[in-house]
Amino acid sequence: MQIIKNIKLILLVLLLGSCSSCNETGNVPDNDDKPEVPAGDVTLFVTTNSRSQDFKKQTVSFSTKSNMSPTTIKLIPATRYQTMDGFGAAVTGSTAFNLMKMTQENRTKFLKETFSPTEGMGQSYVRISIGCSDFSLSEYSLCDTPGIENFALTTEETTYVIPILKEILAINPNLKIMGSPWTPPRWMKVNNLTDLQPYNSWTSGQLNP
């Protein structure tokens, strides 16, 4: 369900970031923008709270005709904002653990529906945590003892996360993986805000609790 929620959020961000109203921005008059209509439809995957639609594939047609429907989104290609490098979801320890509990057939089917650019949504990004996150199986860092020589992966990475990443990469070799720490090891933090020890050169200062 966490992946589905992320997908819904990604679609919402994509839609909001891709549309704007001429009357609201005033950047491009209505009659100055005549975009070409792409061939084919937009594909959406919808999940409702009532579960009447559960990850159901739907289409939304492009058209140059005027439409007063409140669900119509007007695209203005001449108005540009930030560049989107890709869309995806987090593969946390609990995500990978649950995926590994599925049969190989069902897991491959789900991963293809999520990451395949030809057989599914084609998600192009995966975020993983360096150390534990709030969706890990336990609390840990990958370097609990001071010194980078003590950096070591745990069974959460080697048994669950990395095997799932390999399966995803086999489906989408162009996948981008973003690694980010949720929290540093305890020895990089201070005990309180008045006792600013230890000072660590790796962080260029102190880290709050």
pLDDT value of position 175: 97
Give dist(CA 185, CA 190) in Å, integer.
Answer: 11
DSSP, res 19: B
Residue 149 or 197, more confident: 149
What is the chain's mean pLDDT, rounded? 78
Backbone angles phi, psi at 72, to 5 degrees: -80, 135
The sign of the torsion formed by the CA atoms of 132, 134, 138, 139 equals: positive
In this prediction, residues 161-173 reach a mean pLDDT of: 98
In this prediction, residues 164-182 reach a mean pLDDT of: 96
Cis ω for the linkage preceding 184 (within 30 of 0)? no
3-state helix, strand, coil in the chain (%, to 5): 35, 15, 50
Contacts with 190 (C-beta within 8 Å, 6 or more apart), sequence order: 196, 197, 198, 206, 207, 208, 209
Give the DSSP H/E element, type plus range, for residue 133.
Answer: none
For residue range 80-138, list pLDDT tens digits in order.
888 889 999 999 999 999 999 999 999 999 999 999 999 888 999 999 999 999 999 99
Give dist(CA 198, CA 204) in Å, integer.
Answer: 11
For residue range 18-51, list pLDDT tens digits in order.
433 333 444 444 444 454 555 656 777 788 888 8
